[in-house]
């Protein structure tokens, strides 16, 4: 499973990812029910839709399908951005938390240089060639969307999350 240094690097990347995953959930929980279901931007995404996107199009896709080669149900087109109305906000956030746990488990024993095991048929090569690159991609995407939620919350109710503690190593 790689060197001790590689294990520490993977653990550190996953620690930072967990920190950003928690940031996403905290911001959504801090919003009013109305704000979670409303859009603040012309493209029309909602905080609930963003959580659904992170669940299906990011965590499930990149870790379980691409890196671990699991046969999982993936969203088609922009369906990953649509949160089913019948799901409560807590159910949606629990699905995100569960997918994050499953994603972490799926890559826990992979070397950072592990190659993707799956990619979309007919779509050419996967854009990332190793677990290291996928971890960085997912960390950046999750952090970017956490920032989107910061802005959505501030626009909706003035709530701010400007001072952040760093995760403990």
Distance CA(81)–CA(19), nearest Å, equals 22
Query: Whole-model pTM above 0.95?
Result: no
CA distance 165 to 118: 36
Note the pLDDT tens digit of each residue in 20-48.
999 999 999 999 999 999 999 999 999 99
Alpha-carbon gap, residue 116 to 102, rounded angstroms: 17
The span from the CA of 74 to the CA of 14, in Å, is 23
Q: Which domains does the chain have, with CATH numbers?
A: 4-157 (1.20.120.450)
Tell me: the pLDDT tens digits for 96-144?
A: 999 999 999 999 999 999 999 999 999 999 999 999 999 999 999 999 9
């Amino acid at each position: 499973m790689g060197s001790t240094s590689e294990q520490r690097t993977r653990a550190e990347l996953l620690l930072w990812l967990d920190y950003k995953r928690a940031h996403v959930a905290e911001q959504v929980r801090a919003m009013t029910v109305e704000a979670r279901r409303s859009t603040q931007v012309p493209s029309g995404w909602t905080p609930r839709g963003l959580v659904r996107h992170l669940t299906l199009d990011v965590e499930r896709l990149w870790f379980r399908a691409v890196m671990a080669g699991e046969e999982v149900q993936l969203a088609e087109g922009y369906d990953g951005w649509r949160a089913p109305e019948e799901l409560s906000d807590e159910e949606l956030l629990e699905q995100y938390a569960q997918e994050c746990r499953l994603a972490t488990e799926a890559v826990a024993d992979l070397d950072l240089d592990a190659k993707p095991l799956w990619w979309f048929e007919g779509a050419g090569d996967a854009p990332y060639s190793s677990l290291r690159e996928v971890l960085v991609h997912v960390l950046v995407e999750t952090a970017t969307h956490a920032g989107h939620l910061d802005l959505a919350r501030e626009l909706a109710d003035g709530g701010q999350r400007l001072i952040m503690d760093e995760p403990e190593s």
